[in-house]
A = this chain, B = another copy of it.
Amino acid sequence: MCQGFKFAGVASGLKKNGQKDLGLIYCERPAHVAGVFTRNQVKAAPVILDMQRITSGACQAVIVNSGNANCCTGEKGMRDAISMGRWAAAGLDISEKQVLVASTGVIGKPLAMDRIQRAVPDLVKALHPAGISHFAEAIMTTDTVPKMVSQKGNLDGVPFTVTGVAKGAGMIRPDMATLLCFVMTDVAAEPALLKEMLVTATKRTLNCITIDGDTSTNDTALLLANGLCGAVVKHDAEKETFQDLLAAVLMSLGKQLVKDGEGATKLVEIVVQRAKSDANARQIADTVAHSNLVKTALFGEDANWGRIIGAVGRAGVPVQTEVIDVYFANERIVQNGMGCGQKTEIEATRVLKRPEFTITIDLKAGKGKASVFTCDFSIDYVKINADYRS
């Protein structure tokens, strides 16, 4: 784990089942910070608060609750978000302006503030450098497993670490950050540069995953840098090294999210290659990755490539459908827009039984390429989302 950070997670009673629902990240000294937030126009109170506070570029703690999104909660919601930050600041003896706040869960219900207030002292007491798994649990909603990763890199002989933790299993699509994601590092970097690197890394990682095509009102991804390792990221060479490790951490978290997608049984990478442009490739990959018919066929382990071709044809990008090839892993199932026959479908069905594989769509039209991670669409997805609030 990244030096200089402590983590905690406790059960405050917001979740009915008594599981952990309140988390805290604390940095021994104020860190520089950057963030990306939901592009949904409906923004939860803590998102609005963080977007204001983060302009200072400094942050020493993040308090997060699950079980309630504190969204569509009006002026009371904003006062509640401020109170959460204030109580954490008081417990940690730091300025409340140095505290960011995040919430996730049901929209439109007021937060049970008495429970949070009562739990904050225990939360502060529980802070520990190795407490990240408690924090990861405390931010889960329909997630079935906590999501964490830590990777090490080297900047001019100085070792550095990037540690990430995230939650999210539904309401995810690739036009925004992702639900909640917190990344800690011990390098030093200016807030503006952190922002630039976070945006770049997000574009090619967290923004390339989809579960159900819906977008949350609470999405927040924060990058905190405390400078404790002694390395400074400033020039192009260091930027590249750091950016690569940051992207690797975010990609790992992104894949963990899709793999744990609500009801998901498979992680599938949709690759579109030889499109006229990267943008065209991305548009087609997104359409295939979001198609309910493709996703239900993946769940049914049915090599129904007609649905893939159908989705390509409606993606809004001009394509020559009679030259398209489609591969399941290395198995070519469609050649020049037509099926390759029974034998290859049997092979493709074998691929479909794997927990992870790639579907490649070759348009033979240019040099554009894109990749999007998606999951299958199962009976459990419907069950989970039909019963979510009950």
Contact = CB atoms under 8 A, between A and B. Distances in A.
Given A72-B306, A214-B291, A377 B382 contact: yes
B217 A313 contact: yes
A339 B382 CA distance: 24
Interface string A289-328: 0011100110110101111011111100011011000000
A106 interface: yes
Given A212-B293, A292-B212, A313 B386 contact: no
A41 B313 contact: yes
Contacts of A42: 309-310, 312-314, 321, 337
Contacts of A382: 296, 299, 377-379, 381-382
Interface string A69-102: 1011110000000000000000000000000000
B383 A314 contact: no
A41 B383 contact: no
Contact of A41 (B300, B318, B386, B387): B318
Interface in A55-77: 69, 71-74
A283 to B, nearest CB: 13
A110 to B, nearest CB: 9
Given A214-B292, A314-B39, A299 B338 contact: no
Nearest to A390: B302
B300 A338 contact: no
Contact of A72 (B43, B216, B337, B381): B337
Contacts of A16: none
Which of A108, A175, A334 gathers most chain B CB within 10 Å?
A108
Nearest to A304: B389
A170 interface: yes
Contact of A300 (B73, B379, B390): B390
Given A72-B334, A107-B305, 17 more contacts: A41-B313, A41-B321, A43-B313, A69-B306, A72-B321, A74-B322, A106-B304, A108-B334, A108-B338, A171-B293, A213-B291, A292-B381, A292-B385, A300-B390, A302-B386, A379-B383, A382-B382
Interface of A: 39-43, 69, 71-74, 106-109, 170-171, 175, 212-217, 291-293, 296-297, 299-300, 302, 304-307, 309-314, 318-319, 321-322, 334, 337-339, 377-379, 381-383, 385-390
18 contacts: A40-B310, A40-B314, A41-B314, A72-B338, A74-B322, A74-B337, A106-B306, A107-B305, A171-B293, A175-B314, A212-B293, A214-B291, A214-B311, A296-B382, A297-B386, A297-B388, A300-B387, A377-B382
